[in-house]
Amino acid sequence: RIRRRELRSPHGLDSFGPCFFSIFKSLVPSEDEIVKQEQLLLSLKKLVKKEWPDAELHLYGSCANSFGVSNSDIDVCLAINDYEISKLDILLKLADILESSNLQNVQALTRARVPIVKMMDPVTGISCDICVNNRLALVNTKLLKDYAQIDQRLRQLAFIVKHWAKSRRVNETYQGTLSSYAYVLMCIHFLQTRKPAILPCLQGMEATCRVTVNETECAYFDKVEKLKNFGARNKESITQLLWAFFHYWAYCHDYTNDVISVRTGRIISKQEKDWTRRIGNDRHLICIEDPFQVSHDLGRVVDKFSIKILREEFERAADILQYNSNPSVTLFEPYIP
Ligand code: CTP
Ligand code: MG
């Protein structure tokens, strides 16, 4: 059955701009929620100081990188220089402390790739994951936050993409789809490669901040207040970018050969990363290079089943933005198995 479809012109989605913008607005956490997050962090700090006076607690992930939507869990990192006791013992001790302080559903997940303690604070209703000494996560959190300050279209695009990914259930790493972190990197890379570019490549510029974490050198230009007009020559609207983002991942990305790399601001080849073969469980069916841990492919969780699901969802999204009469609703329709 052939349906007559009319191709939208590049401006065809413009009339939906206000709808997508109000979706973005509705996802931004309220002031009240941010106050509650800070309250919780403060009370956790007090608990931790009692046991480990020199330890620090830092927020990371979406509550600190400015890509957090409302009602998210918060991610906290305990930074501690205690070599007498192992990381796992620290986690177990931490779980004890939290348990005896009225925090609920305390669980130590010691066997996860990144071991954490999970818990829920009954006072604020906020859930929280705490990891130990994950300093790379703190650095990549700052990198994402710095990118977000350069051009406001990044946050708008990433919020909508994350909302789409959650609605369509393709934001579940344990099911072989991608993390929120991976989606934000995809958005950054996409804006780095627009013509003219909307975002620079901060790691390709003269480094103004530099830290070494477990032998990994993390360096980039972080004076982002100097880059406020970087993307001004590009006039693309959020709806045009959204269309082009999904169009790229549905129909243009070369899944066989290409790796997207925020570190270089370019596409690099699987060949040069030696990501052409399956090694163990890493399949490299969609390749997203971590900006600092460059041997780490954020697409490695994707398997031969979930790659199909992902690509079908990219196509669905691209087609909705191309043809659908109510794209700002249809795009986010929940996936029902
Ligand atoms: N992270 C990482 N490497 C990964 C996944 C995550 O370093 N493979 C770190 C990043 O610092 C990221 C944080 O863990 O910001 C949290 O990851 P994730 O839960 O994917 O993203 P959030 O931004 O917290 O998204 P959400 O709003 O869905 O919680
Ligand atoms: Mg998170």
Q: How far apart are the first and last CA of the chain?
A: 25
Closest-CA residue, ligand 1 atom 11, reads 137
Average pLDDT over residues 198-221: 97
- Cβ–Cβ contacts within 10 Å for residue 62, how many? 22
Q: Summarize pLDDT for 76-114 with one digit per residue, the tens.
A: 999 998 768 888 999 999 999 999 998 999 999 999 889
- Reported as a pLDDT band with limits 50, 70 and 90, residue 1 is very low
pLDDT at 3 over 70: no
Å from CA of 243 to ligand 2 middle: 26
Record: fold of 31-135 = Beta Polymerase; domain 2 (3.30.460)
Ligand nearest to the CA of 181: 1
pLDDT at 4 over 60: no
3-state secondary structure of 36: helix
Q: Which residues pair with 9 in a beta bridge?
A: none
Atom index in ligand 1 nearest the CA of residue 141 equals 11
Near ion ligand 2, which residues have CB within 5 Å?
61-62, 75
How far is Cα 94 from Cα 99, in angstroms, rounded to an integer? 8
Atom index in ligand 1 nearest the CA of residue 138 equals 11
Kindly state if the Cβ of 180 falls inside 6 Å of ligand 1.
Answer: yes
pLDDT at 115 over 80: yes
Q: Summarize pLDDT for 222-239 with one digit per residue, the tens.
A: 999 999 999 999 999 999
pLDDT at 129 over 90: yes
User: Which residue has 């790493």 as its token pair?
Assistant: 173
Atom index in ligand 1 nearest the CA of residue 296 equals 8
Q: Summarize pLDDT for 236-256 with one digit per residue, the tens.
A: 999 999 999 999 999 999 999
Q: Summarize pLDDT for 149-158 with one digit per residue, the tens.
A: 999 999 999 9
Å from CA of 72 to ligand 2 middle: 7
Q: Summarize pLDDT for 166-209 with one digit per residue, the tens.
A: 999 999 999 999 999 999 999 999 999 999 999 999 999 999 99
Q: Summarize pLDDT for 21-39 with one digit per residue, the tens.
A: 999 999 999 999 999 999 9
- Reported as a pLDDT band with limits 50, 70 and 90, residue 5 is low
Å from CA of 259 to ligand 1 middle: 20
- Output the pLDDT for position 9: 67
pLDDT at 12 over 90: no
pLDDT at 310 over 90: yes
How far is Cα 298 from Cα 290, in angstroms, rounded to an integer? 6
- Output the pLDDT for position 127: 97
| Alpha-helical segments (H) within 125-235 | 135-148, 152-167, 180-192
- Residues in the chain, overall count: 337
How far is Cα 53 from Cα 220, in angstroms, rounded to an integer? 32
Cβ atoms 77, 130 nearer than 8 A: yes
pLDDT at 61 over 70: yes
**How many Cα atoms occupy the beta-carbon half-sphere of 302 within 13 Å?**
21
Intervals of CATH 3.30.460.10 along the chain: 31-135
Kindly state if the Cβ of 179 falls inside 6 Å of ligand 1.
Answer: yes
pLDDT at 261 over 70: yes
**What whole-number percentage of the chain has pLDDT above 90?**
89
Intervals of CATH 1.10.1410.10 along the chain: 13-27+137-330
CATH architecture of the domain with range 13-27+137-330? Orthogonal Bundle (1.10)
pLDDT at 8 over 90: no
- Reported as a pLDDT band with limits 50, 70 and 90, residue 10 is low
